[in-house]
């Protein structure tokens, strides 16, 4: 029995003999399903990662708030570095699912952004992707990353992408909208994984949805129209296209930092860095073909 299995088995919440199975897919955490007395739960293990601005007490607060607001499964137990939530039996989205359910996803995010501030508590953490990129650059320079020669270019790009952002109302966002963080149980669409949840612009979540699911230009505009309730202005369209680039830059730099500081089982951070840089190049080419060379 592994140390994680032993820790899970020793939790004081179980009612009888339990069955523990690993859940695959995480790049920075380890998760397991636990069957106990006819119920199934997800146990999520992960330490604080200050280099990624991830603090588990914030994640646990956001997960509880998301349940109270009706977006996430119930959290039934927490302790430092560990959270237990009810398992949602349903279909985990892939890229094609997000595109096929664009209107539904947009409505979910509009509701999430509007309702979550009524349920979150504690200090108001902020997620500003351009600050994250700049802080990642400091971490990478300090760690003598293999990507250090490219950092000044990434910083210049971040500054240019930030400059074309449309001012929008501050919302409480998710900020990690990979397709697999949407689960459809047939009647309801759920959100999971709140490591990066904080206050920010809604544009980052909208860009994350589109970029992670490989939206076309038409799908980008349909997402914006569905979220804002009106055809998007040229400024919103440009802002969204720039934020798609920024989201991919942040994800690529997340992976660069992870190369230095994380060691999740089965994670290939070098390959993930390359994958996101390729996506960034394509997104930049698309942006510049529409709006001209980024400053």
Give per-residue pLDDT as tens, 207-249: 999 999 999 999 999 999 999 999 999 999 999 999 999 999 9
The enclosing H or E element of 72 equals none
The stretches of 69-201 forming alpha helices (DSSP H) are: 95-100, 102-115, 129-142, 151-163
Give the residue-averaged pLDDT of 17-46.
89
Q: Which of 22-31, 219-228, 260-269, 282-291 comes out lowest in average pLDDT?
A: 22-31
Choose the final residue of a domain: 86, 114, 130: 86
**84, 219 contact by CB (below 8 A):** no
The verdict on 28 and 70 lying in the same domain is yes
- Number of compact structural domains in the chain: 2
Q: What's the chain's average pLDDT?
A: 95
First-to-last C-alpha distance (Å) of the chain: 55
User: For residues 210 and 44, what is the distance between their CA atoms, to the nearest angstrom?
Assistant: 27
Report percent pLDDT > 90 for the chain: 92
* Residue 209 CA: distances (Å) to CA of 134, 171, 277: 23, 16, 17
pLDDT at 161 over 80: yes
User: For residues 4 and 69, what is the distance between their CA atoms, to the nearest angstrom?
Assistant: 31
pLDDT at 26 over 80: no
User: For residues 244 and 260, what is the distance between their CA atoms, to the nearest angstrom?
Assistant: 25
User: For residues 218 and 210, what is the distance between their CA atoms, to the nearest angstrom?
Assistant: 11
The verdict on 34 and 100 lying in the same domain is no
Whether pTM exceeds 0.75: yes
Q: What is the CATH number of the domain that holds 29?
A: 3.30.200.20
Q: Indicate the DSSP class of residue 12.
A: T
The verdict on 125 and 149 lying in the same domain is yes
Choose the final residue of a domain: 33, 61, 86: 86
Report percent pLDDT > 70 for the chain: 98
Give the domain range for residue 44: 3-86
Q: Which of 19-28, 86-95, 124-133, 284-293 comes out lowest in average pLDDT?
A: 19-28
pLDDT at 25 over 90: no
The verdict on 96 and 134 lying in the same domain is yes
Q: Which of 19-33, 156-170, 206-220, 255-269 comes out lowest in average pLDDT?
A: 19-33
**Residue 1: its pLDDT value, please?**
56
**Residue 2: its pLDDT value, please?**
75
User: For residues 39 and 65, what is the distance between their CA atoms, to the nearest angstrom?
Assistant: 22
């Amino acid at each position: 029995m592994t140390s994680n299995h032993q820790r899970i088995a020793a939790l004081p919440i179980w009612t009888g003999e339990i069955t523990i199975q690993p859940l695959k897919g995480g790049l920075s955490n380890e998760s397991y399903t636990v069957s106990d007395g006819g119920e199934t739960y997800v146990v999520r293990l992960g330490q604080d990662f200050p280099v990624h601005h991830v603090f588990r007490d914030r994640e646990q607060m956001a997960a509880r708030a998301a349940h109270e607001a009706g977006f996430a499964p119930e959290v039934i137990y927490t302790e430092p570095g560990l959270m237990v939530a009810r398992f949602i039996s349903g279909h985990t989205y892939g890229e094609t699912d997000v595109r096929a359910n664009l209107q539904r996803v947009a409505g979910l995010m509009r509701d999430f952004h509007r309702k979550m501030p009524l349920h979150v508590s504690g200090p108001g953490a902020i997620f500003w992707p351009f600050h994250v990129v700049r802080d990642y650059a400091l971490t990478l320079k300090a760690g003598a990353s293999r990507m250090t020669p490219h950092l000044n270019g990434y910083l210049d790009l971040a500054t240019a992408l930030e400059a074309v952002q449309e001012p929008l109302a501050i919302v409480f966002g998710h900020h990690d909208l990979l397709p697999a963080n949407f689960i459809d149980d047939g009647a309801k669409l759920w959100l999971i994984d709140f490591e990066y949840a904080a206050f920010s612009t809604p544009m980052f979540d909208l860009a994350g949805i589109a970029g992670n699911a490989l939206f076309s230009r038409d799908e980008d505009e349909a997402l914006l129209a569905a979220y804002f309730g009106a055809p998007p202005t040229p400024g919103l369209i440009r802002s969204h296209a720039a934020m798609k680039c920024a989201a991919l830059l942040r994800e690529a730099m997340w992976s660069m930092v992870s190369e230095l500081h994380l060691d999740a089982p089965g994670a290939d951070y070098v390959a993930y860095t390359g994958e996101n840089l390729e996506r960034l190049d394509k997104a930049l080419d698309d942006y510049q073909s529409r709006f001209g060379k980024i400053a």
